[in-house]
Amino acid sequence: MSILGIEESLITTAARKKGVNCLCGKESNAYKDSSLRSKVYADIYSQLKREFGVTSYKAIKRNQCDIAVSIIKAYELPVILKEQVENLNNQLDLDID
């Protein structure tokens, strides 16, 4: 049986936390860049779908929810995304008011 609302919520919460962590917090330049943020979240969900061989994380079986959350917690950025995050976060924020 596919996941229900509560399991879906557990997975999306874990993915959000991991994404924020990978981008170095909500106040980081990387997080504020919507394009890069989208790439990171897309990669997290792609990894999850790849692990379970599904086209949507919602197709994961209910009894596999804990495994899905642990996969998300163990997720690491690919080198290219990690470099992009580091580069953006190392840029000075020159907002002059």
Query: What stretches of the chain show up as alpha helix (H) in DSSP?
Result: 5-22, 29-32, 34-52, 65-74, 79-90
Judge whether residue 92 has pLDDT over 90. no
The structure tokens listed for 74 are 């163990």
Q: Please, are residues 10 and 65 in contact by the beta-carbon 8 Å criterion?
A: yes
pLDDT of residue 94: 60
Q: Please, are residues 2 and 61 in contact by the beta-carbon 8 Å criterion?
A: yes
- Report CA Rg, the chain: 15
What are the sequence ranges of the domains in the chain? 5-84
Judge whether residue 96 has pLDDT over 60. no
pLDDT band at 93 (very low <50, low <70, confident <90, very high): low
pLDDT of residue 18: 98
Distance CA(51)–CA(43), nearest Å, equals 12
Entry pTM:
0.89
Task: Using the structure block, give the residue that is written with the tokens 């086209």.
Answer: 55
Mean pLDDT of the chain: 93
The structure tokens listed for 83 are 């470099």
Task: Using the structure block, give the residue that is written with the tokens 């804990």.
Answer: 66
Single-letter amino acid, residue 36: L
